[in-house]
């Protein structure tokens, strides 16, 4: 999509040390559709696609891993749900400070990781190029599109947020 | 990790995906069930540390135990935090996370990201056990796969 001047409209711009969010309308609809599902999955906690959000920290030691999980899981769940809520509140437009940027970054990436796991569970090789899908593969094609789209959004947010990091 | 994805808003527009959930419920022991709990690498028979199923799993390390010193010294040894490659995270994003969480220069963050991408792993921090746990927690919060182990 372009502005009248022909320049590419940016999803995220930096103004006065905040990141201004301005998503395209279909993107707002899709995020508004996906984020509540992610929250639901997190609260239920039993979907295999969530495993990528809790990778093992101590794969060498089952007892230590259990201790780590007991240490972090509740806090991480709460933080994820709060971050998703921040994004949902800003879908139609927001000015993000560093906390808000972090919430968006983490939530979008978590969503992308879960979509990736769902695709992997469906037997999709994420490294392979897309094939023209048949009707029975439509859902897979839609999810691959979402994976790519989320990647594009994250890329743009990283570009904006990187300009706010201290100079080297 | 992957490079820049296609921007589908400009290409073909967005489509809905229906339900995210697959309808399968994990039973039994949860994340430590008999399914691999580590993220999958792209299926590549030539890939490093690929299991016969083509999945990358974290290596199992067996610490050398010295009964004379184990309880006294083990927790005092420094720990290191390792970030592992995965097929979903963007290289651009991983570099940013390294800069943000550890204050690395862009150059150093990119170097470590490329080490993860090409070697499958990179050590990103070291220190006390508490520091390592905190670093792993923050990396997991950002969706990176990180583990901690004693620095040999």
Q: What angle do CA A60, A64, A68 make, to 5 degrees?
A: 115
* Residue pLDDT, tens place only, A118-143: 998 888 887 765 555 554 478 888 88
Q: Which residues contact A150 (CB under 8 A, 6 or more apart)?
A: A108, A111, A112, A115, B5
Of A51, A60, A162, the CB nearest to B96: A162
When the pLDDT of each residue in chain A is averaged and rounded to a whole number, the result is 89
| Long-range pairs, B60-67, Cβ under 8 A, ≥24 | B60/A59, B60/A60, B61/A60, B61/B149, B62/A60, B63/A60, B63/B150
* Residue pLDDT, tens place only, A93-122: 999 999 999 999 999 999 999 999 999 888
In chain A, which among 74-133 make CB contacts under 8 A with chain B? 75-76, 79-80, 105-106, 109-110, 112-116, 118, 120-122, 125-127
Q: Is the pLDDT score of A57 beyond 50?
A: yes
pLDDT of A9 reads 73
Going by pLDDT thresholds of 50, 70 and 90, the confidence category of residue B97 is: very high
Tell me the mean pLDDT in the region B74-93: 91
User: Which of A28-42, A115-129, B50-64, B114-128 shows the lowest mean pLDDT across its residues?
Assistant: B50-64
Q: What is the pTM of this model?
A: 0.78
DSSP A18: E
pLDDT of A131 reads 53
Tell me the mean pLDDT in the region A70-98: 96
B149 touches chain A (CB under 8 A): yes
């Amino acid at each position: 999509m372009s502005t009248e001047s022909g320049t590419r409209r940016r999803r995220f711009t930096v103004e006065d040390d905040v990141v201004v969010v301005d998503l395209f309308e279909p993107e707002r609809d899709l995020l508004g559709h996906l984020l509540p599902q992610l929250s639901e999955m997190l609260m239920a906690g039993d979907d295999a696609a969530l495993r990528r959000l809790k990778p093992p920290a101590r794969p060498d030691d089952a007892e230590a891993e259990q201790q780590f999980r007991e240490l972090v899981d509740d806090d991480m769940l709460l933080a994820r749900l709060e971050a998703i809520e921040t994004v949902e509140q800003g879908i139609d437009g927001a000015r993000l400070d560093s906390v808000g940027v972090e919430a968006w970054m983490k939530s979008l990436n978590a969503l992308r990781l879960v979509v990736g796991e769902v695709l992997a569970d469906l037997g999709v090789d994420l490294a392979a190029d897309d094939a023209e899908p048949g009707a029975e593969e439509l859902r897979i094609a839609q999810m691959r599109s979402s994976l790519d789209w989320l990647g594009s959004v994250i890329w743009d947010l990283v570009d904006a947020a990187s300009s706010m990091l201290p100079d080297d | 990790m992957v490079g820049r994805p296609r921007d589908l808003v400009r290409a073909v527009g967005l489509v809905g995906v229906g339900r995210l959930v697959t309808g399968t419920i994990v039973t039994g022991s949860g994340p430590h069930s008999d399914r691999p709990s580590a993220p999958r690498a792209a299926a590549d028979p030539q890939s490093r540390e690929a299991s016969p199923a083509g999945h990358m799993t974290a290596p199992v390390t067996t610490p050398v135990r010295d009964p004379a010193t184990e309880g006294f010294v083990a927790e005092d040894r420094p720990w290191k935090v390792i970030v592992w490659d995965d097929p979903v995270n963007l290289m651009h994003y991983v570099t940013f996370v390294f800069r943000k969480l550890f204050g690395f220069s862009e150059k150093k963050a990119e170097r470590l990201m490329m080490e993860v991408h090409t070697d499958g792993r990179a050590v990103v921090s070291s220190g006390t056990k508490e520091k390592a746990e905190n670093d792993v927690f923050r990396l997991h919060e950002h969706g990176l796969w990180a583990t901690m182990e004693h620095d040999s």
